[in-house]
Amino acid sequence: MGNSSCRYIVNAVGKDGETYYTHCQDKQALKKWIDDHQEKLLIDELKITDKNQNPFLKLFSRKR
């Protein structure tokens, strides 16, 4: 968690109830991680946080 070079934080739930928490440095690493684990994940429960996103924009990007 002390790694300041990670940009994306991933929280996901697996089909068998597993909980996944990981971080990726860039968009390519994020896409690779999702592709590698796609069969195990519930895509509807996938939450990706961009640490570099403007806090003001976060208010408007939330799904309701």
Q: What is the pLDDT of residues 37-64, one digit of tens each?
A: 999 999 999 999 998 887 777 677 655 4
CA 39 to chain CA centroid, Å, is 16
Residue-wise over 29-63: b if at least 16 C-beta within 10 A, else e? ebeebbeebeeebeeeeeeeeeeeeeeeeeeeeee
pLDDT of residue 61: 67
This prediction's pTM: 0.75
Amino acid at 31: K
pLDDT of residue 36: 96
